[in-house]
């Protein structure tokens, strides 16, 4: 009996939710580049054109996948400490996006923010406002959380698998990177095979920014004042 026949016997009616869930699972398993309408249809034991009853086109499929993933992020906890609330939410988002490595790129490729992304950002802004940050400061803070300062933001140096010994030619050409790699190698605190402790690095950046935000809040920061005294 072929696989096709086997699945046919237990055929579930197609709906948008099942299309999206299967697409997410397929992208998790095979990567986003291998996700095609035809391949997805095959996975659902359906003729390719059947998908177009539930999504207008592939862009709408990707919109739906982005929303499905963002919907997995925990809602914000409540509590008096806004830094703690925001911190927990951000770390939840990080866990979700580590589960779906293709998702960040898909979300960033949407031309307009999707509803779940808007909801996520909205409640994030709400957490800052509840913490006593002014609307103005919250605005800047939200931008700061979304910016990529180097211009691109590949989570740098994918040293998770430093296959083989460090390349001596690389060390000669890029001495500072070699030095940083050396500090990472010494520092085998919590990771298994050497390389960087990505979780630590993430929290380092997060806490630095959150502390910076809190400092500004305490000063009663307003953008007019900051702009006036801005560096030339």
Residues engaged in binding DNA (CB under 7 A): 35-39, 46-50, 52-53, 57-59
113 near a copy of itself, judged by CB under 8 A:
yes
Neighbours of 109 (CB within 10 A): 11
Neighbours of 103 (CB within 10 A): 22
User: Which one of 174, 188, 193, 219 is in contact with a copy of itself (CB under 8 A)?
Assistant: 174
Long-range contacts of 182-188 (CB under 8 A, 24+ apart): 184/157, 184/159
In contact, 222 and 134? CB cutoff 8 Å:
yes
* Residue 54 near which of a copy of itself, DNA, none (CB within 5-8 Å, type-dependent): none
d(CA 173, CA 45): 52
138 near a copy of itself, judged by CB under 8 A:
yes
* Residue 133 near which of DNA, a copy of itself, none (CB within 5-8 Å, type-dependent): none
183 near a copy of itself, judged by CB under 8 A:
yes
CB of 43 to DNA, least distance (A): 11
CB of 18 to a copy of itself, least distance (A): 25
d(CA 185, CA 182): 5
* Binding residues among 68-97 for a copy of itself as defined by CB under 8 A: 73, 90, 93-94, 96-97
Q: Counting Cβ atoms within 10 Å, is residue 186 exposed (0-12), middle (13-18) or buried (19+)?
A: exposed
185 near a copy of itself, judged by CB under 8 A:
no
C-alpha closest to that of 67 among 37, 110, 8, 4:
110
Extract the tokens encoding 170: 């690389």
C-alpha closest to that of 210 among 150, 149, 137, 156:
137
User: Which one of 46, 88, 157, 194 is in contact with a copy of itself (CB under 8 A)?
Assistant: 157
* Residue 48 near which of DNA, a copy of itself, none (CB within 5-8 Å, type-dependent): DNA
State which residue, 39 or 139, has the beta carbon closest to DNA.
39
CB of 200 to a copy of itself, least distance (A): 7
d(CA 169, CA 189): 27
**Site pattern 12..31 for a copy of itself (x: CB under 8 A):** --------------------
């Amino acid at each position: 009996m072929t696989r096709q026949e086997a699945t046919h016997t237990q055929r579930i009616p197609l709906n948008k939710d099942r299309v999206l869930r299967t697409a997410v699972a397929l992208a998790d398993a095979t990567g986003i580049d291998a996700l095609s309408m035809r391949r997805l249809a095959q996975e659902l034991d359906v003729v390719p054109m059947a998908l177009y009853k539930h999504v207008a086109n592939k862009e709408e499929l990707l919109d739906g996948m982005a929303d499905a993933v963002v919907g997995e992020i925990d809602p914000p906890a409540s509590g008096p400490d806004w830094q703690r609330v925001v911190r927990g939410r951000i770390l939840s988002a990080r866990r979700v996006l580590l589960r779906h490595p293709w998702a960040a790129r898909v979300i960033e490729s949407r031309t307009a923010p999707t509803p779940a992304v808007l909801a996520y950002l909205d409640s994030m802004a709400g957490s800052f406002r509840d913490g006593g940050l002014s609307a103005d400061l919250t605005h800047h803070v939200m931008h700061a959380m979304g910016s990529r300062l180097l211009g691109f933001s590949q989570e740098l140096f994918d040293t998770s698998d430093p296959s083989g010994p460090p390349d001596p030619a690389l060390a000669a050409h890029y001495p500072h990177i070699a030095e940083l790699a050396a500090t990472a190698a010494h520092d085998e605190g919590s990771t298994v095979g050497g390389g960087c402790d990505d979780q630590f690095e993430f929290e380092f950046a997060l806490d630095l920014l959150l502390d910076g935000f809190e400092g500004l809040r305490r000063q009663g920061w307003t953008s007019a004042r900051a702009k006036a005294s801005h560096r030339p």
